Amino acid sequence: MSILITGGAGYIGSHTSVELLKAGYDIVIADNFSNSKPEVLNRIEELTGKKFKFYEIDILDRDSLNKVFLENSIEAVIHFAGLKSVGESVAMPISYYYNNITGSLILAEVMAKHDVKKIVFSSSATVYGMNNVSPLTEDLPLSTTNPYGSTKLMIEQIFQDIYVSDKDWSIALLRYFNPIGAHESGRIGEDPKGTPNNIMPYITQVAVGKRDKLSIFGDDYDTHDGTGVRDYIHVVDLAKGHLKAVEKIMGTKGIDAYNLGTGIGYSVLDLVKNFEEATGVKVPYVITKNRPGDIATCFSDPTKALKELGWKTEKTLKDMCKDSWRWQSNNKAGY
Ligand code: NAD
Ligand code: UD1
């Protein structure tokens, strides 16, 4: 029996694949490399000493996906495959809705056809929108402000409706806060194409000399130092949360959403300071204007994941900074 990992060549998928293999699961990865590179597969094998099957397919291709289920005994799916850039989603909404939503619909359809009804889905804290007050709990009203976020919210809704129609499904919707960091070996990590949108890859690219300075988007927010506050989570802690979610869906039926975060908010300036202290490398920065759509503060209440999945984070902000830096400095050009 295997776990199918869609998008398993990506940033979070590759770290989750390592943790699943280490825990003794058989896995099958399906990815179209639209935002990842084949080299990551060698690294996963190198880190675990385990072999696994890989399919270079687009999940929008129903026949190829069907073949994966015909050729393997899939027990459950972890569904990472999706496009994830907020800015790009505003510029290319059709691609985002098509890839993320149609991709998820085709996956659910092929799963149902093969009577595989256990899935862990990569949702995002973005579904809490702009109006809720942190710490955010899973039962708050949901809303979104951009097409990327809307795809996550709609896919959550689609899975809710699938469960209502067929109570044999077992579904975990994981709402990630801000994943950063890398595997402590420095062999796998985040490898964004072009200019990074998210803060940590930007910081490491400044630190490695690839970019001049960090632009901090605003210092007039209502936070302890005026810069935006977020719940940064180490990607390996996040990966381990998927293991716990897989254990949960194996043993039960139903649908539940879980926050995966630390419950602690750090500002952009806290992050820069911790990075400099953890690595000994200076990060020059300038304060620029606020990024449209950003909120002042966003952090989780992770109590439900602790209670129901038995999961909590273990790594500190300094661990995240050290590991991001080890990955970046050992792999200056990415994979
Ligand atoms: P990523 O881009 O590194 O990984 C996604 C992978 O999916 C890539 O390898 C890409 O090639 C693949 N993919 C995309 N569309 C595909 C398709 N149609 N068929 C097959 N493969 C396809 O992103 P990530 O950071 O690892 O994120 C994984 C998931 O978690 C995404 O769904 C993302 O929206 C979600 N998420 C990410 C973050 C974050 O900050 N990284 C936060 C919240 C949620
Ligand atoms: C962004 C997305 C969110 C997505 C999340 C994780 C937006 C508006 N939101 O959230 O939907 O789920 O990434 O992928 O894009 N910052 C700087 N300088 C930079 C980059 C960021 O100061 O060069 C600041 C931001 O203003 C924010 C913090 O750093 O306060 C974190 O930013 P980022 O990493 O982009 O994550 P989010 O904004 O939380």
Atom of ligand 1 nearest to the CA of 191: 3
Question: Is residue 309 assigned to a domain?
Answer: yes
Ligand 1, CB within 6 Å, residue ranges: 7, 9-13, 31-36, 58-60, 80-84, 99, 103, 122, 124, 176, 179
Question: Is residue 216 assigned to a domain?
Answer: no
Question: Is residue 213 assigned to a domain?
Answer: no
Look at the chain and count its residues: 335
d(CA 9, CA 36): 6
Atom of ligand 2 nearest to the CA of 298: 39
**Amino acid letter at 153?**
L
Question: Is residue 294 assigned to a domain?
Answer: no
Q: Where are the beta strands (DSSP E) in 139-264?
A: 170-176, 178-180, 214-217, 229-230, 232-234, 254-260
Cβ pair 290, 207 in contact under 8 A: no
d(CA 57, CA 91): 25
d(CA 97, CA 154): 9
Cβ pair 16, 9 in contact under 8 A: no
Give residue 81 CA to ligand 2 midpoint distance, Å. Answer: 20
Render pLDDT for 58-100 as a digit per residue (tens, 0 to 9).
Answer: 999 999 999 999 999 999 999 999 999 999 999 999 999 999 9
Digit-by-digit pLDDT tens for the chain (335 residues) are: 999 999 999 999 999 999 999 999 999 999 999 999 999 999 999 999 999 999 999 999 999 999 999 999 999 999 999 999 999 999 999 999 999 999 999 999 999 999 999 999 999 999 999 999 999 999 999 999 999 999 999 999 999 999 999 999 999 999 999 999 999 999 999 999 889 989 999 999 999 999 999 999 999 999 999 999 999 999 999 999 999 999 999 999 999 999 999 999 999 999 999 999 999 999 999 999 999 989 999 999 999 999 999 999 999 999 999 999 999 999 999 99
Question: Is residue 331 assigned to a domain?
Answer: no
Establish whether residue 293 lines the binding site of ligand 2, counting it when its CB lies within 6 angstroms of any ligand atom: yes
Establish whether residue 126 lines the binding site of ligand 2, counting it when its CB lies within 6 angstroms of any ligand atom: yes
160 is in which domain, residue-wise? 2-182+232-263+301-313
Question: Is residue 218 assigned to a domain?
Answer: no
Question: Is residue 64 assigned to a domain?
Answer: yes
- Return the CATH number at 171: 3.40.50.720
**Substitution site in 198, 230, 259 for ligand 2 pocket (most atoms within 8 Å of beta carbon):** 198
Q: How many domains does the chain have?
A: 1
Establish whether residue 149 lines the binding site of ligand 2, counting it when its CB lies within 6 angstroms of any ligand atom: yes
C-alpha distances out from residue 286 to 87, 207, 268, 269, Å: 21, 14, 12, 11
Question: Is residue 99 assigned to a domain?
Answer: yes
d(CA 15, CA 315): 15
d(CA 244, CA 117): 17
CB atoms within 10 A of CB 152: 26
Ligand with smallest separation from the Cα of 123: 1
Give residue 178 CA to ligand 2 midpoint distance, Å. Answer: 8
Structure tokens at 74: 């899939």
SS3 content of the chain, % helix, strand, coil (to 5): 40, 20, 40
